[in-house]
Amino acid sequence: MKSKTEAIIISSMNLGDADKLITFFSLDRGTLKGVAKNARKSFRRFGAGLESFTLVRLHLNEREHQELVRIESADIIEQHASIGCDLGRAAAGAVMLELVRELSPLGERNAPAFLLLLHVLHLLDEGEDPLFLLSVYMIKFLSILGYQPKLDHCLACGIRPKGEVLFLGMKGGILCKDCMVSSGEPQIRLSAGAVGFYYHVLRMDMDKVSRLKPSHSIITELDRAFAEHTFHILGKRLKSTDFLKTVCTK
């Protein structure tokens, strides 16, 4: 059966002498994997359309009961070429793509998640700050997938804290100042500013998020909290965050 879909290329791996194994996030059917036969030799059918971050129209050919689709050709819609040319942008983008690969279920349509990724890649390509965008992406993406941490009420006493809180990655929630117990372990604290920024982003339309100008420390606090939270969701660390740390250490 032949079909067409709009998709963002998530990853591309060489397969055999001439083929490529492509993971892509499609508007119609979520994450899928496919083989692009002869992709390393046929510039006419694929061009640069199988590079990560590219928005393409893929022409597919599928057989029933086969997990891998066959990718016949790719037409580029938006290339987002500047992401790959800048280490900071490429590193932040790599974390976004890894989150899609790890968290969005194979073959399940999720139009809001697709449109969010597309919007954020657009802003990244245009030169918006990569760490800021990654933070925005994490907040909105985890919420769309139902993994949204709850930072507004203390897990122990239920009050709505005003000042600094302690983030518990395993529970995706917080403890207020009165309920914090020092365990001697390193703790992830979130300032009132970080919690405020988090809820602003959650409620704000993507068209307006660039108006927010959080401080570097707010982004760092949330980055630590999300690293812990995704670790508990996935049972492992995201690989691409190591690359991000080497590139964006300030």
By CB under 5 A, tell whether 156 contacts Zn ion.
yes
Instruction: State the amino acid at position 1 in one-letter form.
Output: M
Distances, alpha carbon 39 to alpha carbons 6, 43, 172, 194, in Å: 19, 7, 42, 45
Site for Zn ion in 178-217 (CB under 5 A): 179
Give yes or no for residue 157 binding Zn ion (CB under 5 A): yes
Whether residue 91 contacts residue 50, with contact meaning beta carbons closer than 8 Å, is answered with no
Of 122, 113, 120, nearest in space to 28 by CA: 113
CB 177, min distance to Zn ion, A? 8
Q: Cβ 239 to Zn ion, closest distance in Å?
A: 35
Residue 121 is classified by DSSP as: H
CB of 178 to Zn ion, least distance (A): 5
Cβ nearer to Zn ion, comparing 71 with 154 = 154
In degrees, rounded to 5, the angle at the alpha carbon of residue 227 between the alpha carbons of residues 14 and 34 is 25
| Least distance from Zn ion to the Cβ atom of residue 153, Å | 9
**By the rule CB under 5 A, 218 interacts with Zn ion:** no
Nearer to Zn ion, 156 or 204 (CB): 156
Chain residues binding Zn ion by CB under 5 A are 154, 156-157, 176, 179
